[in-house]
Amino acid sequence: MEINSIYEGLGISKEVRNFGEEILKGLEERFRAIDETTEYNQLKVIKAMQDAKVDAECFNSSSGYGYDDVGREKLETVYAKTFGTEDALVRPQITCGTHALALALMSNLRPGDELLSPVGRPYDTLEEVIGIRESKGSLKEYGISYREVELLSDGTFDYENIKKAINEKTKLVTIQRSKGYASRPTFSVKQIGELIKFIKDIKPSVKVMVDNCYGEFVERIEPSEVGADMIVGSLIKNPGGGLAPIGGYIAGTKDCVENAAFRLTSPGLGKEVGASLGNNRAFMQGFFLAPTVTSAALKGAIFAANIYERLGYKCIPNATESRHDIIQCIELHSAEKLCKFAEGIQAASPVDSYVTPVPWDMPGYDSQVIMAAGAFIQGSSIELSCDGPLREPYSVYFQGGLTWYHAKLGILSSLQKLVDANLVNVDSLC
């Protein structure tokens, strides 16, 4: 069977496919550069696994207290070695990225301390953690204050006001690498390193945490290699490689990780307890696959930007700029287009392809959100998925794809839905 017929069987017309192929012709060099980064990161992970002496015993399960769980301990060593940190906490008991970030913050701050975000407002769900929006158990309730410095209008750091914001109470600085739901650029690791140096030159005792969600393995170095005391992320994003069914990580200095471990379990117990419940194999194998999975997602993001920019939509990052995370934002400026885009992503999924996504009120978010995902792991955003809050500019945030070919199909399918609804016309472009 011709590949065009298979695409047609999946609902993709010849016109849409040809348009996609036309766009792809211009992306060869960029894809080659991604492959080179993937190779580099793959080797880094294998070396860490060899140095940690990962063996078959690691895949055994533990239950109850989880004492002497060799697999859990070696997994944490592998994370630490790969990210260049002294230690790491990698656990199924950390339920998601927000939990990992909240844990890192709450365990490393004490009443009277101040938290500073020098990169503007953090990710939506952290607003309640910090107490920007009132919530039970927030840092604010515990007497931990918060300050933020907006980015300059061109998306760069406002060094002058950051300097002014650092005071005797400033204990921890949080830097979000990825743009999340904001329309600002994602920072490169190099930029993050410059910001950390600036801050530590002013106040050496300050600790820096980087919200590393979506950033892992996109570049050859991680923020922990340019001065961050902690990097924090979710295992149902990049580092789980699509196999981790749950989990989060905190990698950093011994001190920061110990604080987090004492908070996650209990003072005194720390990392010694926490059964892995049969997850070690998925965590280890997922981390092994993470560089290639991340590269598939990255290729999908670049493909999407090039398709939609050609159609006249503003894409962040744009079609040609360099990438520092796997999220692609496309400003669709219409609720109808946003919903059609999501329908297309859903329809291209291996799982739940027959359902139609609808907007809903999601806990932790302050406007309705539409999400599309036909995922093996619920809510996994390293799998092909998209989401977008129903508010101007009706941006869709597209991410993931465990394989490049699935990401490609998903993007073509989103376009097909827009074409079928007469919201977009590709005829004049091919």
Residues that bind ligand PLP (CB under 6 A): 96-98, 101, 123, 125, 176, 178, 180, 211, 213-214, 234
DSSP state of 369: E
User: What is the spatial distance between Cα 60 and Cα 57, in angstroms, rounded to a whole number?
Assistant: 6
Q: How many residues in total does the chain contain?
A: 430
* Minimum distance from residue 150 beta carbon to ligand PLP (Å): 17
Residue number with the shortest CB distance to ligand PLP? 97
Q: Which residues lie below 8 Å from residue 120, measured CB to CB, with a gap of 6+?
A: 148, 149, 150, 151, 182, 184
CB-CB contact of 122 with 226 (8 Å): no
* Minimum distance from residue 76 beta carbon to ligand PLP (Å): 19
**69 vs 222, beta carbon nearer ligand PLP:** 222
Structure tokens at 126: 């952290």
**49 vs 231, beta carbon nearer ligand PLP:** 231
* Minimum distance from residue 248 beta carbon to ligand PLP (Å): 7
Say how many CA atoms lie within 13 Å of 163 toward its Cβ: 7
* Minimum distance from residue 207 beta carbon to ligand PLP (Å): 18
**123 vs 394, beta carbon nearer ligand PLP:** 123
Amino acid making up residue 173: V
* Minimum distance from residue 234 beta carbon to ligand PLP (Å): 4
**98 vs 108, beta carbon nearer ligand PLP:** 98
**214 vs 394, beta carbon nearer ligand PLP:** 214
**125 vs 170, beta carbon nearer ligand PLP:** 125
Peptide bond preceding 350: is omega within 30 degrees of 0, i.e. cis? no
3-state secondary structure 130-189: HCCCCCCCCCHHHCCEEEECCCCCCCCCCHHHHHHHCCCCEEEEEEECCCCCCCCCCCCH
CB-CB contact of 239 with 249 (8 Å): yes
**107 vs 416, beta carbon nearer ligand PLP:** 107
Q: Which of 296, 312, 86, 325 is nearest to 211 (CA)?
A: 325
DSSP state of 110: -
* Minimum distance from residue 128 beta carbon to ligand PLP (Å): 11
What's the angle, vertex CA 72, arms to CA 68 and CA 74, rounded to 5? 100
Q: Which residue is associated with the tokens 């930029």? A: 191
User: What is the spatial distance between Cα 420 and Cα 403, in angstroms, rounded to a whole number?
Assistant: 26
Say how many CA atoms lie within 13 Å of 172 toward its Cβ: 26
* Minimum distance from residue 210 beta carbon to ligand PLP (Å): 10
* Minimum distance from residue 44 beta carbon to ligand PLP (Å): 22
**49 vs 342, beta carbon nearer ligand PLP:** 342
* Minimum distance from residue 97 beta carbon to ligand PLP (Å): 2
**107 vs 178, beta carbon nearer ligand PLP:** 178
* Minimum distance from residue 326 beta carbon to ligand PLP (Å): 10
Task: Indicate if the alpha-carbon torsion angle 378, 379, 385, 389 is positive or negative.
Answer: positive
**20 vs 118, beta carbon nearer ligand PLP:** 118
Instruction: Note the helical H segments in 311-403.
Output: 335-347
Give me the DSSP letters along 248-290: EEEEE-HHHHHHHHHHHS-TTTGGG----TT-HHHHHHHHHHH
**71 vs 97, beta carbon nearer ligand PLP:** 97
* Minimum distance from residue 96 beta carbon to ligand PLP (Å): 3
